[in-house]
Chain A
């Protein structure tokens, strides 16, 4: 049982909930950048939470089914077609042997998730099937999908068609986003003006936006003068190489803030001034180039409440689709 890749799409990888416990040796969590959408896709086809899905970036793949299967597509507005006939997003549907799944053009968001009943059957590496391309690990030979790849699917257990995620639980993909952050880490290196600029600018996402990091443009941040500490380096934005939190925002040389995502470089020598709160990381993952973003400061209590609200959304969806 499985699927043949006729066209791979722009950057399609196998992902799941991620790989934890190895960040200390430079292996980042990886996993779906939009975890809610990937969770929803699995629920729709009756898969367990840990099943692996396809993450498609901007342009979808073309897939030939060599056995019947139940499929769901969630996340970005990347409309699925079966044998060129439109199928709904956020809803499970059946495909037959010989059917071809392809996609229309992306209209909003950045990443769509395809779940197959049975889940994608590739070997786990360090407890996860997620692809980490920089480290050639997970997925199919640690790389993005290529034409001709064979995607093996697991045994099907309890799949069902016609399940749909209620409208109220579907994320929206506005063209202007507010991403909540907690200031901290090395934000004391910014001048008061630098800090105001960071929080007051409408940042535009550049095309340098991938699973490692999202690079924005819009202003230059002012750093305080200093005598560089031993080992840090001479640029005012340099620090002695340190760990980078997932979601942390570094600003090399004061220009172009970079939000690190789930394939993050695990550490380095650029000072981070803020971190995206856990609840808003999916929204970063759904940001396409040219989108406008404001970084909005929140405190720890607000971030924790947002995390609890998000967990409640996961629980509600699970009940709805039970």
Chain B
């Protein structure tokens, strides 16, 4: 889980700096991206337009006539060296329970409609994912997918879509290729999987991730009508920890009713996350996190 590569700086045109911290995904690289971008944010520099932490990289959009590009890169290199390996940083975030109906009728309809885009025309996305990860049944795969918490390592693609990284040692992480040809349609709030990431599709649209299920809970609300969206229209932030909770159809329907009544709220608790402590003993640390979520 340790990042070994050194950072690679590149300009994206004359108004973006793109920094790849590691070619591989790891929580260490992700934490560095968050720490560096947060340190830059705190400087409130003139000319900085957008600061985007991502999985194992980050990007700054800036006005190069206000902030000279080479000055910005020098500053970012300085911050990178100050941040170091970031393992001693504590992150104040929250752990949230996301109800998931696995193998639901809506994503099932979609994935059957796009079977010709898939690796295996004769099985479902869940059956394919279970098999290539060495699980004997879809149920045991779902158990692995929902058993440990997930760390929001990036928000984007479309408005409010979280990329979730599984908080287990690499040898236990699930990996599934994306569709060879992306779909032109995905239901809103579908749970997808691509590479080593779970994604929750915040809006309906194109997508290439394998489809596992759906959540009845809104995660993006541009009109801000739902209680959890009073402050902002996007629910997930980089660093939000998610526990995917398998539910049955009856529970799904109950939550849909709550959502329609504008009465649904996520179960969530504030938590302080320490990467160093997590890396020392992921299983024990996760057990503690889940206790926080269950706690009163």
Q: A residues within 8 Å of B by Cβ?
A: 20-27, 125, 132, 134-137, 142, 181-182, 184-185, 229-234, 238-243, 245-248, 265-269, 272, 275-279, 300, 303-304, 306-308, 311
Contact = CB atoms under 8 A, between A and B. Distances in A.
| SS class, residues of chain B in contact with chain A | loop
Interface of B: 10-16, 18, 20, 23-26, 49-59, 61, 64-65, 69, 154-161, 163, 170, 175, 177-178, 194-197, 202-203, 205, 220, 222, 233-234, 237-238
Contacts of A265: 156-158
Contacts of A184: 10-12, 18
Nearest to A267: B156
Contact of A231 (B12, B25, B160, B161): B25
25 contacts: A24-B238, A25-B159, A26-B156, A26-B159, A26-B161, A26-B202, A27-B234, A135-B160, A184-B11, A185-B10, A229-B23, A232-B23, A240-B195, A241-B197, A242-B55, A243-B58, A243-B59, A245-B12, A247-B12, A265-B156, A266-B52, A268-B157, A275-B12, A275-B13, A276-B13
A158 B54 CA distance: 46
A57 B55 CA distance: 35
A269 B195 contact: yes
A125 B222 contact: yes
Contacts of B51: 24
A232 B156 contact: no
Contacts of B50: 20-24
Nearest to B208: A269
Nearest to A281: B13
Given A27-B159, A233-B178, A240 B53 contact: no
Contact of B156 (A136, A137, A243): A243
Contact of B24 (A230, A242, A279): A230
Contacts of A125: 222
A304 B16 CA distance: 12
A39 B245 CA distance: 50
B160 A269 contact: no
